[in-house]
Structure 1
Amino acid sequence: AYGDMENIRSAMNQGAFDFTTKPINLEDLERTIEKAAEQIAFIKQAQKEHTQLESIQNDLHVAQEIQQTILPKTFPPFPELQSFDLYAYMNAAKYVGGDFYDFFRIGHDRLGFVIADVSGKGVPAAIFMAISRTVIRAIALTENSASMCMQRSNNILCQESVNDMFVTVFYGILNIHTGVVTYCNAGHNPPVLMKKDGSVSKVPTTDDMILGAINDAAYHEKELKLSPGDNLFLYTDGVTEAMNEKHELYSEQRLLENCRTLAGKSPKEVVEKITETVGEFVVGAVQSDDITLLSISYKG
């Protein structure tokens, strides 16, 4: 720039910092060199942070794969048993989530099933999710009572909880010969009972505390009877609190209305259809919470 202010101004407006005027002013040259050094340092730092971000993303992908392997994926899970059918699905709002479902045989005539939602999202929730699932499953396999399983699990999770994390849980035990379900609801959304005749209702709650909050809390249990053709549909609040671009919630009422149209459908059809209706409702909006669904139909 030969003293032409318009030329200098044009260069500066375009972001130039590596220019000097003629005749050379040593103070200006010093500032130019300092700015160039700052720019180089900024680029190096950006490259370093980019490499670190790629490493974190790779770690999250691995964590996502690990979490997915934790959740049962084989359906039907017990093809040798013809008295019931089961299907479940989980979609995390981030790479990893805090929701989980689980199911397992207890002896020869019972099926334990769980759906749960850990407070928070992301990696901390995913870690506490893994701990919660392990604790609940380990106790459930040796504990005949749904309420005692929740009580013992709560006492352990209270010791493991960090930053006041907690988990809501619905745990049920299905007698595969009689259709009787003994259950305990630890602060979770009430499941939907879908009768063969098309009627739907929310499963009465046991009014129990979330797990991981208060040590030595008492838990209770109730029973319901599934008749052949009935379906028990469990979900997390990522379903009912799914929000569209107008900030409207999917809601329990909309869930019940959609469940009413699915009487007699298989668990896989129920889960896929409800997932589809949620997707159609929130179309265009960002998923804000993990979505998990589990459906059990009793055949008798």
Structure 2
Amino acid sequence: MNNSGHKILVVDDEPDLQMLMMQKFRHKVRSKEYEFLFAENGRDALDKISENSTISLILSDINMPKMDGLTLLDELQDLQRNDLKAIMVSAYGDMENIRTAMNRGAYDFVTKPIDFNDLETTIEKTLKEIARIQNTMEMEEQLSSLNYDLDMAARIQQKILKQDFPVYEEDERFDVYAHMIAAKHVGGDFYDFFKVDDDKFVFFIGDVSGKGMPAAIYMAVCRTMLKSIGSEVLNPAECITKVNNMLIPESDITTFVTVFYGIIDLKKGELSYCNGGHNLPYLLSKDGNVKELSDVGGLLLGKFEGAEYDMSTVKLEPGDSIVTFTDGVTEAENDSGGFFDEERVIEYLEKSADKKLNPLVKGLFLEVMKFAGSAPQSDDITVLTTKYEGN
């Protein structure tokens, strides 16, 4: 092991010990593996430690004037430094003081007259323990920093995904509500919605392969592309085609995204949509009838350059809701390994047609959570629902 840079504080009131330490460990000093500092008593030692926070090991006599080694150990405990270890030096056979020193936090001890071979072995062992503790502390600091970054990323993602509902309150022709719970700090699910003009309302939902930070970054790219292209292209199939081809260079071998993309013509009461490998939404009528939208095919995005996508149009009646969701809903598992499945989604929607969108969406989340019980959440869960109220 390379002990480069270890600073060792020797605390003893015998001047000869300083010379002996420098002589016996001169090869370590010359190679700069050890750097020795010296103090004559406990008070002096505390001053040295206060001035030099990189001291990692203390070699201290027990019997000293002003402040003895046992009192010094008590003071060191107050510093709460796990990476600062003490080796105590005591007379041979002085088991009472040695036992007291170990109870007060000494890591090890050596006896007088000092066997310097034994002392070197003890120092090496102690430095290895110090290095282990320092590595652990560094890992804990890195983990704390990572958790902070992830918390920040989660807050940013929540701001990216619209959270302030209701929106478009001035337009009584439609309503929209969405919610997402990520499996980790950040997720790969996403949604967005916006009005292209006074009569065209666009909404989409997507699910990026994988979870965590890589999925969240890819999610942000996908969402930005969809919103940018969708603001200019009013044909859902053309929009998805363009975004798919743009995503190809941004994708690696394991990265892709599924997307459902819809546009409601609020004046005509028509939904035009395209699907890119995503779960097909359910159309929920005001009387509780639930049916799946017709499959228009369409491969997932980011994998197949030149893939073709089709559009379909369906007439909406006042009170109709389009319930879109990611597979985190239907593939939520319980303790027995069972899945929530589409049947439970349909059953819930059939008895929830009279609910406003906020309680309807949150109620579905509640059903999923009750089903999953204590089973860990394995995937992001997202629901986006749009309701056409009519002109």
Structure-2-length-normalised TM-score: 0.70
CA–CA distance in 1 between the matches of 2:109 and 2:373?
Answer: 51
Which residue of structure 1 aligns with residue 313 of structure 2?
Answer: 223
Superposed displacement of residue 203, structure 1: 1.4
Superposed displacement of residue 19, structure 1: 5.0
Which residue of structure 2 aligns with residue 213 of structure 1?
Answer: 303
Which residue of structure 1 aligns with residue 185 of structure 2?
Answer: 95
Superposed displacement of residue 244, structure 1: 1.2
How does 1:244-255 map onto structure 2 within 5 Å?
244-255=334-345
Which residue of structure 2 aligns with residue 232 of structure 1?
Answer: 322
CA–CA distance in 2 between the matches of 1:285 and 1:238?
Answer: 13
CA–CA distance in 1 between the matches of 2:373 and 2:114?
Answer: 61
Superposed displacement of residue 30, structure 1: 3.7
How does 1:13-162 map onto structure 2 within 5 Å?
18=108, 28-162=118-252
In structure 1, stretches of 5+ residues that fail to align are: 3-10
Matching residue's letter, 2:247: L
CA–CA distance in 2 between the matches of 1:247 and 1:34?
Answer: 52
Superposed displacement of residue 235, structure 1: 0.4
Superposed displacement of residue 211, structure 1: 0.7
Which residue of structure 2 aligns with residue 264 of structure 1?
Answer: 354
Superposed displacement of residue 124, structure 1: 0.4
Q: Secondary structure at the match of 1:60?
A: helix
Superposed displacement of residue 24, structure 1: 7.3
Q: Secondary structure at the match of 1:185?
A: strand
Superposed displacement of residue 42, structure 1: 0.8
In structure 2, stretches of 5+ residues that fail to align are: 1-91, 94-101
Are 2:365 and 1:275 aligned?
Answer: yes
Which residue of structure 1 aligns with residue 289 of structure 2?
Answer: 199
Superposed displacement of residue 32, structure 1: 2.7
After superposition, the Cα gap between the structure-2 partners of 1:254 and 1:21, relative to the gap in structure 1 and judged at 3 Å, is: farther
CA–CA distance in 2 between the matches of 1:153 and 1:77?
Answer: 26
Superposed displacement of residue 175, structure 1: 0.8
In the TM superposition, what whole-angstrom CA distance separates every residue of 1:128-156 from its partner, at most 9, and x where no partner exists?
00000000000001001000000000010
2:280 is matched with which residue: 181, 187, 190? 190
Matching residue's letter, 2:200: R
CA–CA distance in 2 between the matches of 1:167 and 1:236?
Answer: 11
In the TM superposition, what whole-angstrom CA distance separates every residue of 1:70-105 from its partner, at most 9, and x where no partner exists?
111222221111111110001111111100010000
Structure-1-length-normalised TM-score: 0.91
CA–CA distance in 1 between the matches of 2:253 and 2:110?
Answer: 55
CA–CA distance in 2 between the matches of 1:202 and 1:20?
Answer: 79
After superposition, the Cα gap between the structure-2 partners of 1:21 and 1:202, relative to the gap in structure 1 and judged at 3 Å, is: farther
Q: Which has the higher contact order (CA 8 A, sep 6+)?
A: 1
Matching residue's letter, 1:221: M
Q: Max radius of gyration: which structure? A: 2
Matching residue's letter, 1:191: P
CA–CA distance in 2 between the matches of 1:268 and 1:98?
Answer: 22
Which residue of structure 2 aligns with residue 6 of structure 1?
Answer: none
Equivalenced residue count is 293
CA–CA distance in 2 between the matches of 1:231 and 1:145?
Answer: 21
Larger deviation: 240-249 or 149-158? 240-249
In the TM superposition, what whole-angstrom CA distance separates every residue of 1:239-261 from its partner, at most 9, and x where no partner exists?
11111111111111111111111
How does 1:165-180 map onto structure 2 within 5 Å?
165-180=255-270
After superposition, the Cα gap between the structure-2 partners of 1:179 and 1:264, relative to the gap in structure 1 and judged at 3 Å, is: farther
Task: Give % identity.
Answer: 44
CA–CA distance in 2 between the matches of 1:123 and 1:54?
Answer: 16
Larger deviation: 160-169 or 149-158? 160-169
Superposed displacement of residue 185, structure 1: 0.7
Moved over 6 A (4+): 21-25
CA–CA distance in 2 between the matches of 1:197 and 1:68?
Answer: 34
1:288 is matched with which residue: 378, 382, 385? 378
CA–CA distance in 1 between the matches of 2:315 and 2:110?
Answer: 86
Larger deviation: 260-269 or 100-109? 260-269
Matching residue's letter, 1:189: N
Contact persistence 1:190–1:234 (CA under 8 A): yes
CA–CA distance in 2 between the matches of 1:170 and 1:19?
Answer: 70
CA–CA distance in 1 between the matches of 2:276 and 2:111?
Answer: 74
Which residue of structure 2 aligns with residue 8 of structure 1?
Answer: none
